[in-house]
Each structure stands twice: as structure tokens, then as C-alpha cells.
Chain A
Amino acid sequence: MAAGDLLSNIELISPSQFAKEKIQAVQDYALLSARAVANLFRRPLYVADMIQQADLIGVGSLSIVLLTGFFTGAALALNSANTLQRFGSLTLIAQLVSVSMVRELGPVLTALMVAGRNASGMASEIGSMIVTEQIDAMRALGTDPVKKLVTPRVIATVFMLFFLTILADLLGLFGGAVLSTLSFGIDWHQYWSSGWQILVYQDVFTGLVKPVLFGFIISTVGCYYGMSAHGGTQGVGRATTQAVVASSLLVVVVDTVVTRLLMTVFGTR
């Protein structure tokens, strides 16, 4: 195909139209999120669907989250040890791993793993239902697809990400402990003792608020892209990719904002 033909096939869009589409997308996302939350207070609640999703999202993501947590903790200990050794402060390794994992790396990396695995899964599953008219069929049968499909996924993701993050934090500390003990000869009990004592209320609070927000973002973004899929199987593929990219990006952006906000509320350590 000649370059001219190729260019003629590209649809140009005016800046104002582009802006309108983006604003419309934000509005649709906000409405979907609001409806997903509001449905919590309407019957029926679809508890069985919530439990099924919790199993798929939580138990299904367990292995990758545990492995990520373990190796992140170990790599963090390894990298920190080099710097700490120069200042003769190798014993601080547990404190560094502990605070970093609980406040930041545990929530963010767990969220990114779950986003990669589940935002894509939600977008592709719901997207496939959209292009095969299953969502229209559900509406036609008198069932609200947001209530039946989106709300259970949001609740399950928020709930399970909270516990997955706690497990990732623990495995991160464990990975750091294994590496510190084996490679740098740090005493096992001393590691756990100092790692535990350095944590204060605001660290734990920060580390546990984030997964709730991230879980909400991952599930609503995944469902939103699924619900707005169009253009057959290619459209579903596009929606899946966009869901992972958008949810991952939103997780790191919101992480920065929330960290700053909580530092303002609690003050810096």
C-alpha cells in the first residue's frame, strides 16, 4: 500500500472532539464507579458472585503476589546492604526493608501485579460479553449488568487486595530476612525485632489504606474498559491493553498523591 493510501486511511480528529471524548470517558468512568458503589445498598447483593470473584482474584493471584513480595524484599535488602555497609550501618537493613515494604513497595507492587492479571481479565471477560451481546441480553432479561458484574468485582478486588498486600509485606520482610541472614550474617531474631519495632501506626495505616484505593481503581478501570469495548475481538484486545496500562498508571499516580496527603495528615517521620 502506498504511503498516500495509508495516510488517507488514518482518521484525523479535531482537538476539541478529542477533548470531548476524553471528558466523556472520565464522566462515564465516574458514573460507572458511582453506580458500582451505590449498588452495595440495593438488593440483590450477588454474594455468590462476590465470593467467586474473590476466589478468582485473591486465591488466583496469591502465587504471583507472594513471589513478587519475597524477591522484592530480597532485592531491596541486597541493594540497601551495599550502601549501608559503607556507613557501617548494616544492622539497619531490617528497618529499611520493613518501612519500604509496608509503606510503599508492598501495596504498589501487589497492586501492579493484580492490575496486570485481573484488570486485563475483567476487561476481556466483560468486553467479550459486550461484543457478543451478552450484556444486552442481561439487560433484556431485567438484570442490571453493573450490579451483577461490576459491583462484585469491585468488592472482591478491594477486599482481596487488602489481604494480598499484607501477605506481600510479610513475604517481603521474609525475603529480606533470608538474604540478610545468609549473605550478610545478620542475626535472624535481631532482624525481625528491629524490623518490627521501627514500624509505627502511620506506616501501617498508610500501607493498608493504599490497597483499598488501588483495589477500587483496578476493578473499576478494568470493568470500565470492558463495558466500553467495541469493534469485535480486536476491540476486546484493545480494551484489555488499555485497562492494564490505565490501571497501572493510575495506581502509581494515586500512590504519590495519597502518600503526600497522608504525610500532610500525619506529618513526616
Chain B
Amino acid sequence: MAAPPNAIEERLESTTSSAAPVVRFENVSMGFEDKTVLDEISFHLPRGETKAVFGVAGSGKSTILKLALGLLKPDAGSIYVLGNDITQMREEELFELRRKVGIVFQESALFDSLSVRENVAFRLMEEGNISDEEIERRVREVLSFVELEHTLDKFPAELSGGMRRRVAIARAIITEPEILLYDSPTAGLDPVTSTTIVELIVKQRDVYKTSSLMVTHRLQDAFVMASHYFDRQTNRMRRLPPGARGEVPMSFLILRDGKVIFDGDAQDLAHSKDEYIREYIS
């Protein structure tokens, strides 16, 4: 695996961490056709942390991501992203804010009529003031990060599910967003490809210190992320030494019947007395 580009690394390393949460939900409610999906939920995502969101199908996990990006408006409550109350912002204002947030959709949502190069470069080309050479350099850089530099001229239909997911990650991180949202990034993938994706997310968390919300059904992925760190020397994900759990910025959030029933780290989760949670993680 190629070493992460020094320029990006240095830039992100120099970013001072702030205590203010990058995402904050305050009593947010949301329903679809008379069915309440989220019922006055509140939580926050501290800067630099990755929070895994769990819940059974239809519990509103993906809705949380769409709300955090302003793609949906809540029925009640407030959502703060990077200090802005996005529930009070117009769509045009949100376009600006979304440039600081990246998202990886569950089915990748790549533009099927555009090549991998054009998909990844989409956001940069939309900026309109970046030279073609600079765009090409950054596209190659992020594709190298996800180890897909050779797919530049391919179309999404020519890629496997795992490759599409990695291209989607490349597209999300090309502008070095402050927040990343992952919607079931490993769903439907084989174990080897899933591990590759998890490693990329851990790398993004530990090397670039990006704050993330990750929706997933796969508890084992989140536990791997909580028990591993990214080693820059070997450019590989490594298990934390014994007794070092809780050293990585990773937390868990579990939804049930529209409510948050757990919000804490891996150790709290492992020692939870709640029957539903115990059954969920067993």
C-alpha cells in the first residue's frame, strides 16, 4: 500500500482539535407517512471521533445521515453541523456547507454515466477554479489512497461492489472534508473486501483525524475499528496492545423504537446490563 501523501498528512496533522462537537442532534424527530422513525433523539459527535450507529432495519440509521447532511428536514428539533443550525438553512446555503462534509452511500451512488475519474473529480470540477492538472493530481492521489488508481477510465458498471464502494470513499474524501458519513459501507461485501473498507475508514480516522458517523449492521466491523489503529510505519491496520482499548476515538450509538438507547464507547457497550443491548451484541 502506498504511503499516505505527505502534503495532506501534514495539513491535517496541523489542524488543532476543538472541543466543540462537529455534529449535534437536539431533540430531533422525524416521521414518514404517520410512522415516527426518530423520536426526540439527541447525541453529538466530537471532533476527530468516529461514531458507529446501530439499529434494526427501519430504525432510522440512514435517516440520521441524511438529516446530518440536510438532505432531509426534521419534523422537530435542531441539528448543528460545524456550528451551523442546518434546520434553519436554505438549500442554497446548504450546498456551501456540504462541501465540508463527505458521504458514502450504501449503494455507492456513483454517477453511472461518468467514468471513475469524472466521478471522483466531480466536486473539484464543480468548483470551477481548479486547473485540470491539479484535478488530475488530486484524483490520482485519492484513488491511490483506496488502491484503485488503475480504474481511472473505467465506468461504475465495470467495477465490483467493493471497488465501487472504494471509489465512493475516494469521491467523498477528495476535498478533505471535516466530517465523513458512511452509510453501511461494508453491506453486501465479502469479508476480505469488508476488511479493506474498514481499514480505509480506520486510516481516515487515525491518519487524517476526520470525524465520522458510520451507519452499519455489522457489529464486528465497529469492534474491529474500536480495537485497531492505523500504523503509519507499516501502512497497515494493527490491533491495539492488550489493555489499550478506548485509546482510539471510537464510540457506539444504538437506536431502538426511534430512541437512542446507548451512546458510549466499546467498553461501556461490552459492560452494558441492558438486555436488549446484550442480545444485540451477542
Contact = CB atoms under 8 A, between A and B. Distances in A.
Given A134-B112, A137-B110, 18 more contacts: A44-B126, A44-B128, A132-B107, A133-B107, A134-B109, A134-B111, A136-B109, A137-B105, A137-B109, A139-B98, A140-B69, A140-B101, A140-B102, A141-B123, A142-B123, A142-B126, A144-B92, A144-B95
Interface of A: 44, 129, 132-134, 136-144
Nearest to B111: A134
A212 B71 CA distance: 34
Contacts of B226: none
Interface residues of B, number: 24
A137 B102 CA distance: 10
Interface in B97-122: 98-99, 101-103, 105-107, 109-112, 122
Contact of B105 (A136, A142, A144): A136
Contacts, number: 53
B115 to A, nearest CB: 15
B190 interface: no
B259 interface: no
B91 interface: yes
B275 interface: no
A143 B95 contact: yes
20 contacts: A44-B128, A133-B107, A134-B109, A134-B110, A134-B111, A136-B109, A137-B105, A137-B110, A137-B111, A139-B71, A140-B71, A140-B103, A141-B122, A141-B171, A142-B98, A142-B99, A142-B126, A143-B122, A143-B126, A144-B91
B34 interface: no
Contacts of B71: 136, 139-140
B166 to A, nearest CB: 15
A137 B103 contact: yes
Contacts of A144: 91-92, 95
Nearest to A140: B103
